[in-house]
Amino acid sequence: MSRELTVIACLSLAGGQGKTTFVTLMGKVLAAAGYTVLLVDGDPQSNLTTFLGHEVAADEPTLLELFKGNVELEDAIYPTKIKNLYLIPSDDGLDNVQEYLSGSGVGAMLLKKRLAAAQGSFDICLIDSPPQRSQICKSVIGAAEQIIIPCEATVKGFGSLVRTIDAINELKEVGASSAEILGVIPFRDKWVGSNQTKESRDAIAAMATVVEQAMILPSIRESEKFKQAISREQTLEELGVPELGYPFEMLLKRLESKEVVAA
């Protein structure tokens, strides 16, 4: 059966904004909902590869070889332990692609071109990106049809949102991106009992001055449970905290209602 592929990038231009945590858990939620999902580790730190328990062997093709056109797409895709969930892994060697991309002259178009062959085999491709405004980051923006921006509910997170929107607009201006921003997810939203902290509230209010209020999606709460869910390879439900999975379930509903993915 032929499938319509949607490419979604998770992007935020600062460290520790929840990109890799989001991609890991959202990938699992989408796979559990029956979608065939391809995750792409676009960060030389390769935390996504680690979070999915994948170890890159010495002679194994990764995103680097795919970028360079040395292998076909299917040779760089590996199954994970989870049904319907596949990975294009990376390791720190991915840093070597920066020079290749800037030398190619069409770096911003390259990932889109390489992922085109996933059409027909996958429903959703979800890309994790590096925190810097690098050549890889430009290629991720160029490949994306939709962009999700997680941002810590702090002054730093607000700065990351501003930089991320700026980077997307820069590529749009030169015609290298036609991505839509799907939404902003406040990350590590802190609550004490039933009260949101002032820092979180103020940071999320500031985010709503940069994008429309409707673009601010339900936040990911500050909790050690997310780290545990990833390290123990359990779902938030299995950890006894299903309520923390609310932002992921809501995003799934939004993707289906906006017909970004077929319900």
CB within 8 A of 170, min separation 6: which ones?
none
Q: Is 16 in the site for ligand ATP (CB under 6 A)?
A: yes
Site for Mg ion in 12-51 (CB under 5 A): 19-20, 47
Give the total of residues touching ligand ATP (CB under 6 A).
19
Residue 47 or 200: the one with the smaller Cβ distance to Mg ion is 47
Residue ranges of the alpha helices (H) in 176-219?
Answer: 198-207
Q: Is 154 in the site for ligand ATP (CB under 6 A)?
A: no
Helix (H, G, I), strand (E, B) or coil at 1: coil
Query: Rounded CA gap, 59 and 46, in Å?
Result: 17
The H or E element containing residue 2 is none
Answer yes or no: are the C-beta atoms of 19 and 148 closer than 8 Å. no
Q: Which is nearer to ligand ATP, 56 or 244 (CB)?
A: 244
Find the shortest distance in angstroms from Cβ 2 to ligand ATP. 33
Task: Judge whether 252 and 246 are in contact, CB under 8 Å.
Answer: no
Choose the contact partner of 15 out of ligand ATP, Mg ion, none; CB within 5 to 8 A by kind: ligand ATP
Residue 223 is a binding residue for ligand ATP (CB under 6 A):
yes
Closest CA to 200 of 144, 159, 261, 154: 154
Burial of 148 from C-beta contacts in 10 A (0-12 / 13-18 / 19+): buried
Task: Name the pairing type of β-strands 6-10 and 124-128.
Answer: parallel
CA dist 125 and 27 (Å) reads 9
> Site for Mg ion (CB under 5 A): how many residues?
3
Contact 254, 217 (CB under 8 A): yes
Using the contact rule CB under 6 A, the part of the chain among 64-72, 81-89, 178-186, 222-230 near ligand ATP is 222-230
Question: Measured from the CB of residue 48, what is the shortest distance to ligand ATP in angstroms?
Answer: 8
Judged by DSSP in three states, 174 sits in coil
Nearer to ligand ATP, 220 or 251 (CB): 220
Measured from the CB of residue 226, what is the shortest distance to ligand ATP in angstroms? Answer: 3
17 binds, among ligand ATP, Mg ion, none (CB under 5 to 8 A by kind): ligand ATP
Distance from C-alpha of 238 to C-alpha of 54, rounded to nearest angstrom: 22
> What, of ligand ATP, Mg ion, none, does residue 27 touch, CB below 5 to 8 Å by kind?
none
Q: Where are the alpha helices (DSSP H) in 116-214?
A: 135-143, 155-173, 198-207
Q: Is 139 in the site for Mg ion (CB under 5 A)?
A: no
**Contact set for ligand ATP, span 125-144 (CB under 6 A):** 131
Residue whose CB is less far from ligand ATP, 114 or 190? 190
Site pattern 19..58 for ligand ATP (x: CB under 6 A) = xxx---------------------x-x-x-----------
Binds 222, which of Mg ion, ligand ATP, none (CB < 5 to 8 A, cut-off by type)? ligand ATP
Give the residues lining the site for Mg ion (CB under 5 A): 19-20, 47
